[in-house]
Each structure stands twice: as structure tokens, then as C-alpha cells.
Amino acid sequence: MLAAVYYENGGPEVFRYEEVPDPTPGPDEVLIRVAAAGIQGGDIFNRYEGALLSSPHVVGYQCAGTVIATGGQVAGLEPGDRVVTVGLNGSHAQLRSTSQSFCWLIPDAMSFETAACVPTEFGTASDCLFEFGRLQAGETVLIHAGASGVGIAAIQLAKRAGARVLATASSDERLERLRAFGLDEGINHTSVAFPDAVRSLTGGAGADVIVDAVGGETLQKSLHCLAYRGRCVNFGNAGRDQSPHLDVSSMIGNNQTFVSYYLGAEIFFTPRPHQVIGELLGEIGRGELRVEIDKRFPLADAAGAHAYVESRKALGRVILTA
């Protein structure tokens, strides 16, 4: 098969497009012919500094395609089924093998491209808001990186739940576009201090729930604009700030909660998120929620796709088409 691979960590320029051996499905795995892969923040991080599990290495968490073979222990999936899959690596290729536990059937009316932008984005957003953030109707939520795939999913889900939705982004134009997804108030973090903006917009009370994918200094500042009994859920380090210290002293007197979250672990340890993601796929298929695809690149130009994601110009997801 052809795949976008690299032999060493680094910037987008490390990608090569070349022939590599076809993956072979294990007993509980399915092999799919990839139609579309949604580029995740974790794909960028892993290309820069993640472990190379093979040489050459095929990066990539999430992709959608058609099942072409199954292992002997697989039940409920068969060749010809349309599925979206997640895994630790392997999405940036023409073929991908992964566990059946990390696969979902795609609704008939849904395209491969749309499906490739759902499990990680909407599963993460849902869990951060409700399972771990305990968001309730009438509360205020702050969503960092509102123009990202998870951010757009979280805006929609929070608005549907009856929350007041605040979000940060890097330009007024991007924030204005997010209003179509349910954003109430946008904060341009390049021109204002977002903690001050949150306090101003909430009459000094702060946000009840904060969903943070940025980490580092942004995460520290988030703790200072939480409401009494507020919950901050962090699921990433998109800012790649390696500062090891997080001061939580301000949280004690306010009975606040900090939670770290990783969807992959949640899927591995409990069946609950698998069901939730299946339901979200159905809702998107029925038009109740919306996936936003900013730009498409051919698999052969994975370097260009990753560079575009890193430019922070995208609103929504960037995908590779095989």
C-alpha cells in the first residue's frame, strides 16, 4: 500500500509518500480500505515527538473506510461495511488495521469524509462537557480553541444542552463564523486577556465549566476564571508548553475541580463512550449536529495538510483523502 510515512520526528517536511507493507488484521481486528482521514492534534504532536513504533512510521488516529477483511474473533462487522475507526497510529495510509472495539458503523446518509471527523471530536467534546464537566442547563461554559474540531463540536453540544457558550479563537473573523454553531460570546485571545474577558462577561462570577485543549499557561489562567464549584477539564497540550508546574492553590477555597481527560483510555476501559459516539454519529447523520470540514488534501500531500493545520488558519477539520 501507499502511505504518508516518516523515519524521524520533526516538522511536516519529514513526510515521505511511499510503498510500505500492507497491515494484517489480528484476531479481533478489522482491515479497512481508507477513504478519508481526519487530522487530529495528536497526529501533529506525535509527528513532532511521539514514539516511532515502526520504521517507516505511519502516524494517525482516525479514519473512515470500507472493511475488506476481519480477524477470526470479530463479530458484528464484515467485508463491505462502512466504518470509522480510531487507533494509536496508521490512519495516514491506504489501508488501516485496528481493533473492532475502536470501530463504528457509518450511517447510510453520511459520507466517509464527515465520519472521519466524528469520534474523537464529538466523543471528546461530549465527555469533557457532560461526563467529566457535569455541565447543566443555565451554566456558562468556556471552550478554548473554539475553531478546532473538538471546539466546534463542544459549542454545538453545550448550546443544545441549554448552556451559555463562550469560546476563544485567534481572530474576530473566526469567532464570528462560530456563531452559526451556537457561540454566544467570542474572545479573541490575541487582543484581550481571556480571564479578564470571562470575568467581565459573567459579572465577575467566572465560567462554570472550562474545556481546555491548549494546556500550559492557558490552562493555568483558566483556573483563575472558574466560578465557585467550577470544573476545568483539560484534554491536550496544543500549545506545546512543557511547563511542568500547575498551581492549584486558588481552587481550594472555591471548591473547584480539575480533571484531565483522554478519550482513548476511556474507550479502552469502559464501553460507555463507544455507545455515546454511536449515538452522536446517528445525530450527525440526521442533521441534528454539524461537522465542519475546512480543507481537503490528497494523502500524497500529508506534509501540506499538516502544515496547514499548524498555520492555525483552519476552522473545523482538515482531512486527507486516499
Instruction: For residue 322, name the pLDDT band (cuts at 50, 70, 90).
Output: confident
Residues 6+ apart with CB under 8 A from 130: 157, 161
pLDDT in tens, 215-250: 999 999 999 999 999 999 999 876 566 666 889 999
Residue percentage of the chain with pLDDT more than 90? 95
pLDDT of residue 245: 80
Residue percentage of the chain with pLDDT more than 70? 98
pLDDT of residue 273: 94
Per DSSP, 23 falls in state P
Radius of gyration over every alpha carbon of the chain, rounded to an integer in angstroms: 19
Tell which residue, 127, 152, 155, has the closest CA to residue 141: 155
Domain range 121-262, its CATH number among 3.30.460.80, 3.40.50.720, 3.20.20.70, 2.40.30.10: 3.40.50.720
Domain range 2-117+291-321, its CATH number among 3.90.180.10, 3.50.50.60, 3.20.20.70, 3.20.20.150: 3.90.180.10
3-class state of residue 31 by DSSP: strand
Instruction: For residue 81, name the pLDDT band (cuts at 50, 70, 90).
Output: very high
pLDDT at residue 27 tops 90 = yes
pLDDT at residue 110 tops 80 = yes
Residues of the chain with CATH 3.90.180.10: 2-117+291-321
Helices (H), 76-228: 112-115, 119-126, 149-160, 172-178, 194-201, 216-223
pLDDT in tens, 169-200: 999 999 999 999 999 999 999 999 999 999 99
Q: Are β-strands 140-143 and 164-169 bridged in parallel, bridged antiparallel, or unpaired?
A: parallel
pLDDT of residue 152: 98
pLDDT at residue 319 tops 80 = yes
Mean pLDDT of 271-286: 97
Residues 183, 172: Cα–Cα separation, whole Å: 13
C-alpha cell at 22: 500492507
